[in-house]
A and B are shown apart, each in its own frame.
Chain A
């Protein structure tokens, strides 16, 4: 007797999604719960964490932002193997403004966000016409080469970097700022992709020629997406550089390129919540395994391979499916 798995939407999902007049608290809770978990989970836990774990959560949130930005780019078919480019450029802009001009983080971070977005977009403009792995190759090469540029020209402190940047006055405030930014990005991006604009982006990923023949300039859309993604990445870099009180070549390091990809793949691409979940699994895990030192990167790399081969859909879509759908085995004739 052969069997096959059948998946059916739960009644409550159908009712609460299609019929807008919510009739019961149960349905409202059903809809609100998944959205409340990250909000309450992040903001509520923050004050109870030890300073050490607050630090870990800050760096996790930074990685989560990079991962979400990666996910936005992949939604439009742009594979970025160099999120470190955004991080590094954001950190250098914020660092330089603080180091040379003495601006406070209140100004350096927003300026670095916008300027970083513009700069990265301009840098990548010639490559934007390339698809798939060709774009990926250039993205991988760029940050590594930029760090060489800094080394060779000795600008921006050269190999020494820019030390002594202004820190945040209070760690808890810093944690709240980055968490709010993370939540805003998460829900903003999810909303964006659910809109018709998001449909066009998905269309570009699916079949760019068809989008062209629909009278849309795909390069314009790709440029816009790149700018948004790069801005978020630069924000993460600018924020991180003030946390570290240092801007330097490590901003272009491989960690910032590899971890966002690993987090997105582990959590589930194209969902934004997935990459965030992935970051919140991988970064704290690597903190626990800190004693292993360089093995941390080995472990990210292997995670990436195992998930791509073994569970390509990622954790979040799996959980989402369990929440929304019933599964049962049906016998085949």
Chain B
């Protein structure tokens, strides 16, 4: 029982980290809180399903198309909406919030509700650790989460765009004087965030069905992790994911699965009371938050 909880807790933590990475990336770089994040997640799930089942494309191709389309939507949102209200944080939040809800509810309107909307797993089968059986898909999720984290780490430190990302994140004005186009980088960060949401959707959704409610859940989970960890801090995101992930799994196993969502609520309340800036946040942020 304990071993199972430990393993599943780790996988749950990976899922949370995967969900929060994209949201955090966009916010950390361009300061845009993309409240349409959950909608992009659900959109990618449904798009993969449509391209596979209605159009009949092979799995890998539809995955590719979904990730690309998600990134494209991110770009479009940035250029059509965000750019016009840039700098007005509240307008950005409200606009992406409205847009996200519009996208999600559109799927409900077109009757994308039911158990038939599932994505295939990447690898079938399961593996036993002692008495605990873990299916390959869950291991795959953990693998992807670790791989993406490492990729982002090296990307932001060793590639040109990645360095520009970090420059903008640290000081937009100074970056501007060095000839970095902050609008283009902002749009790219949106696209990257959206693509990460799509990847998360494609590896996580096979565990259940694709449902509109899932979009809200994803947004809440991503927000909870970011609030607890401290927005903009990747280390914070990872630590918060592990904390909340294990807390959720322990509650689900030893209390009742219903209580799982409450764990995040309690975590938010506790962290905000003790350290309003989140566990790992930079000094600059503290100024902005309180």
Partners in one complex: yes
| B269 touches A (CB below 8 Å) | yes
Query: B106–A298 contact, CB under 8 A?
Result: yes
With A129-B290, A141-B265, A294-B108 known as contacts, the answer to whether A134 contacts B102 (CB < 8 A) is: no
Docked CA distance A140–B35 (Å): 10
Instruction: Give which listed residue, A148, A261, A309, contacts B84 with CB less than 8 A.
Output: A309
Q: How large is the interface on A (under 10, 10 to 19, 20 to 34, 35 or more residues)?
A: 35 or more
| Residues in B231-290 with C-beta less than 8 Å from chain A | 231, 256, 258-259, 261-262, 264-265, 268-269, 272-273, 276, 288-290
Which residues of A pack against B, CB within 8 Å? Answer: 74, 79, 81, 126-127, 129-134, 136-138, 140-142, 144-145, 148-149, 151-152, 254, 258, 261-262, 265, 292-295, 297-305, 308-309, 312
**Whole-angstrom distance from the CB of A138 to the nearest CB of chain B?**
7
Docked CA distance A74–B89 (Å): 13
Query: B93–A133 contact, CB under 8 A?
Result: yes
Contacts A140-B220, A265-B94 known; list 17 others, CB within 8 Å.
A126-B269, A126-B272, A129-B290, A130-B272, A130-B289, A140-B35, A141-B220, A145-B261, A148-B265, A294-B108, A294-B109, A298-B102, A299-B102, A301-B105, A302-B98, A304-B94, A308-B95
Query: B223–A141 contact, CB under 8 A?
Result: yes
Q: Which has the most chain A C-beta neighbours within 10 Å: B33, B98, B106, B268? A: B98
**Chain B interface residue count, Cβ-Cβ cutoff 8 angstroms:** 45
Query: A136–B93 contact, CB under 8 A?
Result: yes
Instruction: Give which listed residue, A134, A148, A262, A303, contacts B227 with CB less than 8 A.
Output: A134
**Whole-angstrom distance from the CB of B161 to the nearest CB of chain A?**
25
User: Interface readout for B70-99 with A: 1 if CB under 8 Å, 0 if not?
Assistant: 000000000011001100011101110111
**Whole-angstrom distance from the CB of B105 to the nearest CB of chain A?**
4
Using Cβ atoms and an 8 Å threshold, which residues of chain A touch B100?
Answer: 301
| Residues in B93-120 with C-beta less than 8 Å from chain A | 93-95, 97-102, 105-106, 108-109
Using Cβ atoms and an 8 Å threshold, which residues of chain A touch B101?
Answer: 254, 258, 297-298, 300-301
Docked CA distance A293–B109 (Å): 7
- Closest residue of B by beta carbon distance from A301: B102
Docked CA distance A305–B36 (Å): 12
With A137-B227, A258-B101, A295-B109 known as contacts, the answer to whether A129 contacts B216 (CB < 8 A) is: no
Docked CA distance A134–B227 (Å): 8
Query: B289–A134 contact, CB under 8 A?
Result: yes
| B224 touches A (CB below 8 Å) | yes
Q: Is the interface of B mostly helix, strand, loop or mixed?
A: helix
Q: Is the interface of A mostly helix, strand, loop or mixed?
A: helix
Query: B272–A138 contact, CB under 8 A?
Result: yes
Instruction: Give which listed residue, A79, A254, A294, A297, contacts B93 with CB less than 8 A.
Output: A79
Query: B99–A301 contact, CB under 8 A?
Result: yes
**Whole-angstrom distance from the CB of A19 to the nearest CB of chain B?**
38
Could you pull out 30 A-B pairs where Cβ atoms are within 8 angstroms? A79-B90, A81-B93, A81-B94, A127-B272, A129-B289, A133-B89, A138-B268, A138-B272, A144-B216, A145-B261, A145-B262, A145-B265, A148-B265, A254-B101, A294-B105, A295-B106, A298-B102, A298-B106, A299-B102, A301-B98, A301-B101, A301-B105, A304-B95, A305-B95, A305-B102, A308-B91, A308-B95, A308-B98, A309-B85, A312-B85
**Whole-angstrom distance from the CB of B25 to the nearest CB of chain A?**
16
Docked CA distance A149–B268 (Å): 15
Using Cβ atoms and an 8 Å threshold, which residues of chain B touch A301?
Answer: 97-102, 105
Docked CA distance A262–B219 (Å): 20
Docked CA distance A148–B217 (Å): 11
Docked CA distance A32–B80 (Å): 42
Using Cβ atoms and an 8 Å threshold, which residues of chain A touch B94?
Answer: 79, 81, 261, 265, 304, 308
**Whole-angstrom distance from the CB of B94 to the nearest CB of chain A?**
6
Instruction: Give which listed residue, A127, A130, A132, A294, contacts B90 with CB less than 8 A.
Output: A132
Query: A305–B99 contact, CB under 8 A?
Result: yes
Docked CA distance A151–B106 (Å): 26
Using Cβ atoms and an 8 Å threshold, which residues of chain A touch B269?
Answer: 126
Query: B105–A297 contact, CB under 8 A?
Result: yes
Using Cβ atoms and an 8 Å threshold, which residues of chain B touch A299?
Answer: 102
- Closest residue of A by beta carbon distance from B39: A301
Docked CA distance A145–B216 (Å): 11
Docked CA distance A134–B269 (Å): 13
**Whole-angstrom distance from the CB of B48 to the nearest CB of chain A?**
22
Docked CA distance A309–B80 (Å): 9
With A81-B97, A138-B268 known as contacts, the answer to whether A133 contacts B33 (CB < 8 A) is: yes
